[in-house]
Structure 1
Amino acid sequence: MPTAALGCDTVFEHHQAAIEAATKELSTWDEVLGVIIYGSVAHGFALENSDVDIKIVCTDDFFTAKEHMGNVSYFDRDATPYEGGYVDGEFITPMHIERIAADGSESARFDFQDAIVTFDRQGGLEDLVRGAARYPVEQKRRKMVRFYAQFSAWKAHYYEALRRDNHYLAHLSALQFALYAGRLFLAYNETLFPGHKWFLQVLSGVPQKPAGLMRCLNTLVDQKRAEDVERLYNMVSDFACWPHDSSQDRQFLWDVRMGRIEDFPFAAD
């Protein structure tokens, strides 16, 4: 059974044991500055047989050496006292965390949301983690402008796909349309996009959204019918006066094409 521990509401006892064993081992390495638990265990999404994800904060010299060897990962089965379990880690430096706090993508920031610091050699790691997990509220309006442009454009692409009997484009457009509908509500609630794995689970938990949104989204993802597209479009459009650019086509073009050429983050990031 899950047990409250390490700052989480639901950590299985065998996961807690694995965390303690891995932390004890890594804390003996002089090059290791800290250990951060993230992923499904930290977020409270773990299954009983889930692996334990960790970020190992190390010195710059140690990271450079690992990078030159082409291996900045860490893998340990010995620490996990359950069948099929393992500790899956990656080495990072304090500078990496600082860069994510400054201009990291939402999914990169989400790694640090709910993260648990189990070892901190020098102090201050908790503050770095909190900074990296912050939703960039100063970008909120701009994000919604970009997401609404994507939302509208993929709706148009969907109908173009039907007109051309292009099943691939129709399926892609329906999924992208659903994605950006969800991204709009995540931004509206100042909630980080967690990546696709946890997207619907995180979206279902935001407080400000239309009743029936998740059912509507899931139906669209399953069926990809025109009536499902229209139902979701009306639900999103009626919920709020979404900020948008005077030329949504130009915004979509910029995000999809020019953003790939210039040093400008793609809307999906």
Structure 2
Amino acid sequence: MLQLIEMKGENLIGVFKDAGAEIVKRLSKHKSVVGALFTGGIVRGFADKYSDVDVMIFLDHEDASVRSSVRLLAGEIDARFSLETDIEVHVLDEYIQQDWGEYLKWDLSNGMVVFDRHGGLSELLKEKLAVAEEEWQLRIAKSMIYISWYCFPEKEHVPSMIDLWSDRGDSASAQYAVVYTLESIVELLYTLNRSFLPAPKWRIYNISQLTWLPKNHVDALRDAMLIREISVEDARRRARALAPIWHEMLNRIHEEFGMDFQVATSLYLGKVLHLPPK
């Protein structure tokens, strides 16, 4: 698959897997340890000198001996494999009850269960991470509204933010309107795949892992990222680069989610602004 970027540097994934396996092997000897999950580079399949060995350990009850072992083991693994480790320890029942942020949800939804003493850990995480279809629709609605405001108005006679800032003589703000649109389109690509949003540093890298993507999205995103000069003309060029994939995304929204701008506007007014229906 064509990617926006080609990774350089030495891929240390083999070493990372060995280190992760050693961590799980050692800690799973504690009877209180009921599960272990890999996240980060081990799961992505690419890990370099800037990556951490990310492991989550789950307990059936608080156990100071496990936390003590983690501190000792982390130093040993760091020295033995010349890697940085990030070992989190949680009491499973308490952790499941917590409110998880978007980035953590993405990590956990892409995590790999590598130890499950009693079975059912994967299903437990899946249930916690379940998202109602209405929530995906609301995310789509917000993105549609913002993208239409900033760059691609639904109706031809309505000016975009690029037009407004052009009339005001502020080319920098016109360019930023495209920056915001680009960010919103990237977020929407994840939503259209019913995926949580990764942390900003991973959003471009992980796009290629999404199941559905518009045709020629690589060229479109590359052209839109490139700012040649701070001018309204260049802002319009970048917007034109995004237009084809935006229209393809609108078709996908209609086919997959049964939504158009009328539905999106109704959801936005009712669920975001909490205004009564007209």
TM-score w.r.t. structure 2 length?
0.67
Cα distance, 1:62 vs structure 2: 5.6
| CA positional deviation for 1:31 | 4.8
Percent pairwise identity = 18
1:243 maps onto 2:260 in alignment: yes
1:32 deviates by: 3.6
CA distance in structure 2 between the aligned counterparts of 1:57 and 1:37, rounded to whole angstroms = 12
Question: 1:86 aligns to what?
Answer: 84
Which residue pairs with 1:265 in the alignment? Answer: none
Structure 1 stretch displaced more, 26-35 or 109-118: 26-35
Q: How far apart are residue 39 of structure 1 and its match?
A: 1.2
Q: Which has the higher helix share?
A: 2
Gaps in structure 1 of 5+ consecutive residues: 1-9, 67-72, 260-269
| SS in structure 2 of the partner of residue 79 of structure 1 | helix
Change (3 A) 1:161 1:32: farther
Q: What is aligned with 1:123?
A: 119
Q: Does 1:204 align with 2:208?
A: yes
CA distance 1:170–1:122, change in 2 (3 Å): farther
5+ unaligned residues in a row in structure 2: which ranges?
1-10, 152-159, 228-233
Q: Which residue pairs with 2:144 in the alignment?
A: 148
Aligned pairs for 1:1-269 (under 5 A) are: 12-29=13-30, 31-47=32-48, 50-59=51-60, 61=62, 76-80=74-78, 81-83=80-82, 85-95=83-93, 98-99=96-97, 104=100, 106-132=102-128, 134=130, 136-155=132-151, 156-162=160-166, 163-165=168-170, 167=172, 169-170=173-174, 172-223=176-227, 225-239=235-249, 240=251, 241=254, 243-245=260-262, 248=265, 251=268, 255=272
Quick one: distance in 1 between partners of 2:104 and 2:122?
A: 17
Describe the shift of the 1:140–1:150 C-alpha distance in structure 2 as closer, same or farther (beyond 3 A). Answer: same
Q: Secondary structure at the match of 1:210?
A: coil
**1:17–1:181 CA distance, 2 compared to 1 (3 A):** same
Asked whether the equivalents of residues 51 and 86 of structure 1 are also in contact (C-alpha less than 8 Å), the reply is yes
Q: Secondary structure at the match of 1:92?
A: strand
Secondary structure of 2:198's counterpart equals coil
Structure 1 residues 131 and 159: CA distance shift in structure 2, 3 A? farther
Residue 175 of structure 1 aligns with an amino acid whose one-letter code is V
CA distance in 1, matches of 2:267, 2:194: 25
CA contact (8 A) 2:145 2:265 kept: yes
Counterpart contact for 2:36–2:114, Cα < 8 Å: yes
The separation in 2 between residues aligned to 1:222 and 1:228, in whole angstroms, is: 8
CA distance in 1, matches of 2:169, 2:91: 50
Looking at CA atoms only, which structure, 1 or 2, has the larger radius of gyration?
Answer: 2
Which structure has the higher relative contact order (CA within 8 Å, separation 6+)? 2
Q: CA RMSD in A?
A: 3.9
Task: Tell me the distance in 1 between the aligned counterparts of 2:174 and 2:74.
Answer: 43
Contact 2:32 2:63 in 1 (8 A): yes
Matched pairs, number = 237
Q: How many angstroms apart in 2 are the aligned matches of 1:97 and 1:158? A: 45
Contact 1:11 1:44 in 2 (8 A): no
SS at match of 1:56: strand
